């Protein structure tokens, strides 16, 4: 480990101690102070938007500015506004019922901040996946430490500047650094740790957090399927799948990872996907709308998986309308994959790129069985206008979230919880669920002077106690 990394880890530990001390001095920030923090955050995001767009573009080598606005700035700012308007309501204690045997008394739940929250951010949406959980943690009254990915140093610097102008590090602090710094970050005794990233790393994060009994929210990934019904117009389905797959060049944890399509409709689906993608991206090489694969390691991984599938007999349909030479550009053309063997990486692993295998099926039940036999995905997409089929898919599938006749956009709904299930993650955040995730819901039972419970105190055997038994144990 380098001296620079040693210094960074020491700085993390010092900031953590400062935040712990600051939280102890102010363990229950009032609603107005929380609202003011979020108000400042929203204004700063608007003011710094160009710097953030340029930083993300540098990290990717080329990132569509509109994709950054749509997928990072817009939902971050909306999350700020949504939480700010609702903080008072969320903080209000909720009244609960007291059983007749324990009257007179009252009960309520109060929502207290947890303390110091850690947020570990991946590289694919480095702004939104930092700001989204930050909003929930601040709305709940916490102090926050953010660890950015080593793959997004420019975005890390831009966020350090933005948040450094708004907050003292005793309230919010942002750290960069390499893998060693991330490991050290995960080992800090946070009051809650949220990690977004791959399933394998998620297991290591959970293990590190377990040593401190730190509760975790894990937002992972997996192979999110799209099911095509026997009757849906394929133009409708193809347009929406093409958008979800090619957005950010497929580097999205909820991107449709593969399509389950009725066998007899595959040729038509391929034609429609080709048509839609060619319309969206008539050229690739110098098209600012089409995003680059973030780094050489990820690029090589995707190329190797394509080569493996081709060697095993799969048909690769590259959608490159202008027939451009993409060699050395860091770009991968949208690619449809037919007849891939079940054991190849493209059908085993989360793809995280603009590659879409199409898997034949003979019925909706067979498609649902195919999904049920595999690890539970982060998202599931169904395309069909038959209401009974929609209901069947909702009730007979498990996934972190779902869209019917769309892709991706459930994540942008502030009033829906977002989170995985099983290998695709655990826990939820966004909106009210984010406030609850970063709060301790403390149950409080309240009695005043009169103590009716005296009848259940020893010595036992009195007539009133026997009456209690007759009335309530029946």
Reference 368, options 344, 334, 402; nearest CA is 402
* Residue 191 and residue 116 in contact, taking contact as beta carbons nearer than 8 Å: yes
* Residue 469 and residue 148 in contact, taking contact as beta carbons nearer than 8 Å: no
Q: Which of these is catalytic: 67, 72, 156, 253? A: 253
Reference 279, options 308, 227, 319; nearest CA is 319
* Residue 52 and residue 158 in contact, taking contact as beta carbons nearer than 8 Å: yes
4 Cβ contact list (under 8 Å, min separation 6): none
Q: CA–CA separation, 253 vs 418, rounded Å?
A: 12
Omega within 30 of 0 (cis) for the link into 459: yes
Task: Sheet with 94-96: list strands edge to edge.
Answer: 94-96, 106-113, 439-446
CB count in 10 Å sphere of residue 407: 24
Q: CA–CA separation, 406 vs 87, rounded Å?
A: 30
Q: Is 78 a catalytic residue?
A: no
Q: CA–CA separation, 67 vs 380, rounded Å?
A: 22
Omega within 30 of 0 (cis) for the link into 104: yes
* Residue 32 and residue 141 in contact, taking contact as beta carbons nearer than 8 Å: no
Q: CA–CA separation, 379 vs 77, rounded Å?
A: 23
Q: Under DSSP, is residue 107 helix (H, G, I), strand (E, B) or coil?
A: strand
Q: Under DSSP, is residue 398 helix (H, G, I), strand (E, B) or coil?
A: coil
206 Cβ contact list (under 8 Å, min separation 6): 216, 218
Q: Which of these is catalytic: 67, 72, 219, 350? A: 219
Please give the structure tokens belonging to residue 3. Answer: 């001296």
Please give the structure tokens belonging to residue 158. Answer: 């831009």
Please give the structure tokens belonging to residue 7. Answer: 């210094």
CB count in 10 Å sphere of residue 171: 19
Q: Is 350 a catalytic residue?
A: no
* Residue 261 and residue 459 in contact, taking contact as beta carbons nearer than 8 Å: no
Could you give the residue numbers annotated as active site?
219, 253
């Amino acid at each position: 480990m380098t001296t620079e990394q040693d210094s960074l880890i020491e700085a993390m530990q010092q900031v953590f101690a400062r935040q712990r001390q600051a939280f102890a001095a102010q363990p229950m920030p009032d609603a107005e102070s929380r609202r003011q923090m979020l108000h400042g955050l929203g204004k700063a995001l608007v003011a710094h938007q160009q710097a953030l767009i340029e930083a993300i573009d540098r990290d990717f080598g080329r990132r569509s500015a509109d994709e950054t606005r749509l997928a990072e700035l817009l939902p971050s700012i909306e999350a700020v506004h949504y939480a700010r308007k609702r903080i008072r309501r969320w903080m209000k204690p909720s009244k609960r019922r007291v059983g007749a045997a324990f009257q007179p008394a009252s009960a309520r739940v109060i929502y207290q901040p947890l303390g110091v929250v850690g947020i570990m951010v991946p590289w694919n949406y480095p702004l939104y996946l930092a700001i989204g959980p930050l909003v929930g943690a601040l709305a709940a009254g916490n102090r926050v430490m953010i660890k950015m990915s080593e793959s997004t140093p420019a975005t890390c610097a831009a966020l350090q500047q933005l948040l450094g102008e708004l907050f003292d590090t005793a309230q919010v602090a942002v750290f960069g650094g390499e893998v060693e710094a991330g490991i050290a970050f995960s080992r800090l005794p946070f009051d809650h740790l949220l990690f977004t990233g791959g399933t394998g790393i998620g297991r290591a994060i959970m293990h590190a957090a377990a040593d401190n009994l730190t509760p975790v929210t894990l937002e992972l990934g997996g192979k999110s399927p799209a099911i095509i019904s026997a009757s849906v117009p394929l133009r409708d389905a193809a347009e929406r799948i093409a958008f979800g797959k090619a957005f950010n060049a497929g580097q999205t944890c909820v991107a449709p990872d593969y399509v389950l399509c009725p066998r007899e409709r595959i040729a038509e689906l391929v034609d429609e996907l080709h048509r839609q993608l060619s319309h969206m991206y008539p050229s690739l090489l110098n098209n600012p709308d089409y995003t680059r694969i973030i780094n050489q390691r990820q690029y090589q991984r995707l190329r190797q998986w394509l080569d493996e599938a081709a060697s095993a007999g799969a048909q690769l349909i590259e959608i490159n309308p202008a027939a451009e030479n993409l060699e050395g550009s860091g770009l991968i053309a949208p690619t449809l994959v037919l007849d891939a063997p079940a054991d190849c990486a493209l059908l085993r692993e989360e793809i995280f790129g603009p590659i879409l295998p199409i898997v034949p099926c003979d019925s909706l039940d067979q498609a649902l069985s195919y999904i049920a036999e595999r690890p539970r995905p982060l998202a599931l997409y169904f395309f069909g206008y038959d209401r009974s089929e929609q209901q069947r898919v909702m009730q007979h599938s498990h996934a972190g979230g779902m869209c019917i006749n769309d892709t991706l956009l459930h994540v942008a709904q502030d009033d829906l919880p977002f989170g995985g299930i099983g290998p695709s993650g655990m826990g939820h955040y966004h909106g009210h669920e984010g406030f609850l995730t970063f709060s301790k819901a403390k149950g409080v039972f309240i009695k005043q002077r009169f103590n009716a419970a005296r009848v259940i105190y020893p010595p036992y055997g009195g007539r009133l106690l026997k009456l209690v038994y007759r009335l309530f144990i029946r």
